[in-house]
Amino acid sequence: MIKQIVFIIALLITLGVFTYTFFRVLAYFKLTHQDYPVRNLGRRFKEMMRVAVGQTKIFRRPVIGLLHALVFWGFLVILIGSIEMVVDGILGTERIFRALGVVYDVIIGAGDVFALIIAIAVAVFLVRRLFLHVRRFAGIEMDHKKHVDANIALSLILILMISLLGLNTFYVQHALAAGHEIHGVFPVSQLLAPLFASMPADQLYLYHEINWWVHILVIFFFANYLPYSKHFHVYLSVPNVFLSRLDPLGKLYTMENVKKEVQMMMDPNAAFEEPSGEEEEVGRFGVKDVEDVSWKTYFDSLACTQCGRCTSVCPANITGKKLSPRKIIMDVRERMKEKGPGMLKEGSDYSDGKALLRDHITEEELWACTLCNACAQECPININHPSLIVEMRRYLVMEESSGPGDLNAIFTNIENNGAPWQYSQEDRLQWAEELYINE
């Protein structure tokens, strides 16, 4: 009974903190633009199964990709066992899902094997991060805090897997010592259990309980740590793929407010229409600060795994330019963290005298992009970096006329002459004048 009460209190604290975080993040989403419609649910589901569940993009790097995929699939299986632990904790039962019979054996058996695989994979990831210099993990956006965060999350996963194997091992050995029936199948733990054959039954039970509590409390802590860490992608990467852009990479979206203006100019009747009386507010063109980004771009920034696959294929970055597509996405999250609390407190007009543009992302970075879309192609969770870069360039050009000199000249020529060159339309055929063509 005491175990149940302690468990329920721990669960309520976990749910309370999680609910606070959920509504806080939701409030940040409300500060962003809502102009990202989600249609084609069937196609989205297929994309999610292919890219997120199938982990197809991850396999472009076969060895490390396989380890990542095994961790992901293992988590899905182990999650079922964790749900059982929560039900057991609330009801004071033991292995309540055993009523599922052979299905239970398969799930528990797979979870036992995956616990070992994940522990090995995570140990490899940790060694790689701590002792090997992987270029993909370096960059100005990857400061010391980011590395510490990644290592904490990996260490917590390692503790989770070791405690899971521990509780399974002591469960098996205790059942053997006490003459109880073993529920479930434990391919790995059954091999480890004989190591503790000399222990008395009550000691085995104690060690089982310690591992059980360590495992569930780390899950509770981890669940609330994730939203504040780069490992938020554990929750968000699958939905992020579901919500990702389905249009071909590189497709530029029409700006609705500009389209309306042009339609007005082209429609001869529009000039004579009676004004509706309501002044329509024309918003900012493009993206200057975090409140100008779409909710999906903010979602991208939270879901980003900081893996650096995008930056590692970026031709601008590879050739020494200042641009890192990973940094562009991470900056959105940073900026919301910086400005969001003030906006929630003082309203959407709040200003801290800074902006996403220039204080986080410089013009040099934005104009270094070739819009090749290699980053978006490579991102394992379908983040589309160029769409944000284009929106920020649109702000620079349309609100500040501050594009690079050559581009400004081209835009002026298109505006004045209908062509990128500096000649007037009347002079277009001058080149043919001396060709003596008979009229």
Task: Catalog residues that contact ligand SF4 under the rule CB under 6 A.
Answer: 304-310, 314-316, 323, 325-326, 329, 369-375, 378-381, 383, 385-386
> With respect to ligand SF4, which residue has the nearer C-beta, 370 or 424?
370
Our CA dihedral for 313, 314, 317, 323, rounded to 10 degrees, sits at -140
Helices 2-30 and 201-225 meet at what angle, rounded to 10?
Answer: 10
Tokens of 73: 């699939």
Give min distance, CB of 34 to ligand SF4, in A. Answer: 22
Buried b or exposed e, range 246-263, using 16+ CB within 10 angstroms: eeeeeeeeebeeeeeeee
**Alpha-carbon distances of 122 from 153, 154, 199, 276, rounded to whole Å:** 10, 6, 30, 63
Give min distance, CB of 432 to ligand SF4, in A. Answer: 40
Give min distance, CB of 181 to ligand SF4, in A. Answer: 46
Give min distance, CB of 242 to ligand SF4, in A. Answer: 15
Please tell me what DSSP assigns to residue 434: G
Residue 324 identity (one-letter amino acid): S
Cα R_g (the chain), whole angstroms? 28
Helix (H, G, I), strand (E, B) or coil at 33: strand
Buried b or exposed e, range 183-200, using 16+ CB within 10 angstroms: bbbbebbbebbeebeebe
Beta-bridge partners for 33: 294
In degrees, to the nearest 5, what angle opens at C-alpha 413 toward C-alphas 412 and 414?
Answer: 90
> With respect to ligand SF4, which residue has the nearer C-beta, 25 or 100?
25
Give min distance, CB of 314 to ligand SF4, in A. Answer: 3
Give min distance, CB of 404 to ligand SF4, in A. Answer: 15
Please tell me what DSSP assigns to residue 361: B
> With respect to ligand SF4, which residue has the nearer C-beta, 189 or 384?
384
> With respect to ligand SF4, which residue has the nearer C-beta, 164 or 369?
369
Tokens of 397: 């050009």
> With respect to ligand SF4, which residue has the nearer C-beta, 308 or 340?
308
> With respect to ligand SF4, which residue has the nearer C-beta, 219 or 374?
374
Give min distance, CB of 57 to ligand SF4, in A. Answer: 9
Say how far apart CA 300 and CA 241 lie, in whole Å.
9
Give min distance, CB of 317 to ligand SF4, in A. Answer: 6
> With respect to ligand SF4, which residue has the nearer C-beta, 216 or 379?
379
**Across 288-418, where does the E strand assignment appear?**
none
> With respect to ligand SF4, which residue has the nearer C-beta, 290 or 329?
329
